[in-house]
Chains A and B, each alone.
Chain A
Amino acid sequence: MANTEATATETEEEKVLTDLEKVGEPRAPRKKPNEINAEELTGQIETPKVQRDVADHKPYLCKPKSMEKLGFPSELRSDWHDAAIAKMGDLLKKYKALQVYMDICVKCGSCTDKCHYFIGTQDGNNMPVARAELFRKVYRKYFTTEGKILGKLAGAERFDLDLLGEWYSYFHQCSQCRRCSVFCPYGIDTAEISMAAREIMDHIGVGQKYTNDIIVKVHEVGNNLGMNPKALAATLESTEEDLEEETGQKIRLPLDVEGADVLMVTPSADFFASPHVESLLGYAKVMHQAGINWTFSSTASEAGNFGIFIGNYGQMQKVASRVQKAIEELRPKRLVVGECGHAWRIAYSFWNTIIGPFGSLDPNYPRPQHICEFTLDLYNRGAIKFDKSANDDRVVTMHDSCNVARGARMGDQRGGQFTIPRELIKASCNRYVDMDQDTIMEKTFCCGGGGGLLTDDLLELRVQGALPRMQALHKVRETHGVNFMACICAIDKAQFTKVMPKYGIPLSVCGGVHQLVASAIELGAKE
């Protein structure tokens, strides 16, 4: 410290921050998000004027205890600089795509106005190219000849504490939604860069509280919520009571049934939160009416897998291994995944290699299968019937989840991840309308809470990031009277119900696809 002779008053007023605290400390105090009047929504998504350093959001730092439990250093390593560069070198070698993304950008500008956080915050560093540049300038400094020799002239920069602070801020203002990559002529995937950045930060002792605490909870209790098997059983039982009261029928939500035909893995929020639980009722009604012997598992009581958000495939595999264990325990024939965006990406694109191949499952069905495909198939085969008029109070639109839209597929047709949920929605209601074409399907806008940012310490950012989706929703509310936006993702549902009131849009506008199914399905004796 240069100034050790600070007066007593000064030291009292200015708390001396550790290096780690400096990295995690926002430059301005966290504030409550502005309420946005619905009348201010125009339905148009405008490209804002670029501003510098206005989005000083930083999430809470992960506490030492959770860091240790995940095998990360508990505090910022004293050799953090060298360790970070060495880790970057490892990742560049291991993930060839990352190396290509570092070298291939031509600064064409296609991505600049495509990020919802840029549109919502106006902060220049939230333009995908600028975000990636925070990583690239370190890369150039240590891994390219011109950067080593020419330094700043070649766009290279030494990795210092200030830059690490910017990394912590802006790589937690990326929800890894991949919308920018759709517009990049070279296919640069900023999500991969942001995942690598978070992996490097965890490796040197700079972790994010929300995501890391949740991964710890999955390892220790079994799901993101921290709901133990006893609480899960009690919750399912209580939900069965509700279903009986509503329908007069004994609709089961079975748990840990060995030899059941279908193992259902769903986000734990479906058991607990609103409107998530409405979709849970939908799954149960479908299984009941189709006469399917199915079960949840207390071992695999979570479809979500936050390992991907921190770019750590070891953690991702460890979280996913619970599903593998449940298959061994319960020996199901089929594996079905509930409404969860990133979970479906991992299930569809990663499970086969990290916990598969699923040799014990019936090869006549997709392994795993998405609940929308599962239900639509039953409907198309006549095993279940819908009364569309049950949803006549609704004008429905659909919000495509990023990870389903851009990181996975459903069924065996190209674009099945877009058509299957829409067909299912249209089968269960009479009035459906899509939002603006530039905001749906592969061009869908993030809800603003994905990628491990669904935490209240980032609430202001979450409200800002939801702006483009709110504009598109507002437009169809004005033009078509839309009053229900169907989602297939637990994060979407939690995020929208939290931020929509800030835009003057009622909570009830957000719900699940299987919430519509739950209303429309005809229960009782089959003809």
Chain B
Amino acid sequence: MSFEFAGKTYETDDDGYLVNLDDWSQDVASYIAEMEGVDMTEAHWEVVNFLRDYYQEYNIAPAIKILIKEMKKMFGPEKGNSAYLYDLYPAGPALQACKIAGLPKPTGCV
């Protein structure tokens, strides 16, 4: 599967996750978010940027507990909780935010 954006073709997996991490840019992320029905605000970018930084370091998205904890450390308790993250990404921070961050879909027994 693939999608066209700004004259370029982007390869994705069957569920629309970018195949190549390097294809990602803020503009592509905004486009994926639009397709997901998510209106990107500063708060949305905080999550996406953290996910990308974590992925660069560890080659995997963080466990949800770690995401919450790190958000809390960086932005305070009102942003470091599950309800806040689900408000930003209604389809789930693990699945939807990863998709917008250009990370592969988490799979396994999860």
Indicate if A480 sits at the interface (CB-CB under 8 A): no
Q: Which of A8-16, A97-105, A174-182, A219-227 contacts B (4 or more CB under 8 A)?
A: A219-227
A272 and B110 in contact (CB under 8 A), knowing A242-B65, A242-B69? Answer: yes
A239 within 8 A of B: yes
Min CB–CB distance B93 → chain A (angstroms): 11
Q: Are A273 and B107 in contact (CB under 8 A)?
A: no
Q: Is the CB of A274 within 8 A of B108?
A: no
Q: B63 contacts A277, CB within 8 Å?
A: yes
Segment at the interface with B among A128-136, A191-199, A454-462, A468-476: A454-462
Instruction: Tell me the residues in window 271-312 of chain A with beta carbons closer than 8 Å to chain B beta carbons.
Output: 271-274, 276-277, 304
Greatest chain A CB density within 10 A among B14, B65, B107, B108 is at B108
A269–B110 alpha-carbon span in the complex (Å): 6
Find out whether the CB atom of A272 lies under 8 angstroms from the CB atom of B63.
yes
Asked whether, in the complex, the Cβ of A234 is within 8 Å of the Cβ of B14, the reply is no
Known: A231-B58, A273-B63. A268 touches B108 (CB 8 A): yes
Tally inter-chain residue pairs, CB-CB below 8 A.
77
Report B-chain residues with C-beta under 8 Å of the C-beta of A277. Answer: 63, 65
- List the A side residues contacting B109 at CB < 8 Å: 224, 267-269, 273, 276, 304, 340, 454, 490-491, 493-494
Q: Select one of A217, A228, A271, A454 contacting B63, CB under 8 A.
A: A271
Q: How far, in angstroms, from A494 to B64 measured CA to CA in the complex?
A: 14
Residue of A nearest to B58 (CB): A231
Which chain A residues border B110 with CB–CB below 8 Å? 225, 269, 272-273, 276, 490, 494
Q: How many residues of B contact A (CB 8 A)?
A: 16
Of A82-90, A208-216, A322-330, the stretch lying at the interface with chain B is A208-216
Q: Is the interface of A mostly helix, strand, loop or mixed?
A: helix
A96 to B4, CA, bound (A): 53
User: Which B residues are CB-close (under 8 A) to A494?
Assistant: 109-110
Question: Residue of B at shortest CB range from A213?
Answer: B107
Interface residue total, chain A, C-beta cutoff 8 A: 39
Interface residues of B in 52-72 (CB under 8 A from A): 58-60, 62-66, 69
Is chain B's interface secondary structure helix, strand, loop, or mixed overall?
Answer: loop
Q: Does B15 contact A (CB under 8 A)?
A: yes
Give residues 469-509 of A contacting B (CB, 8 Å). 490-491, 493-494
Instruction: Establish whether residues B58 and A230, one from each chain, have CB atoms under 8 Å apart when the complex forms.
Output: yes
Assuming A228-B60, A234-B58, is B108 touching A269 (CB within 8 A)? yes
A–B Cβ pairs within 8 angstroms, 23 of them: A214-B107, A223-B108, A225-B60, A225-B110, A226-B59, A227-B60, A228-B59, A228-B60, A230-B58, A231-B58, A231-B60, A235-B62, A238-B65, A242-B65, A268-B109, A269-B110, A273-B108, A273-B109, A304-B109, A454-B109, A457-B14, A457-B15, A491-B109
Q: A455-B107, A457-B15 are in contact. List 19 more A-B contacts (CB 8 A).
A: A214-B108, A217-B108, A225-B60, A226-B59, A226-B108, A228-B58, A231-B58, A234-B58, A239-B65, A242-B69, A268-B109, A269-B109, A272-B63, A274-B64, A304-B109, A457-B14, A490-B109, A491-B109, A494-B109
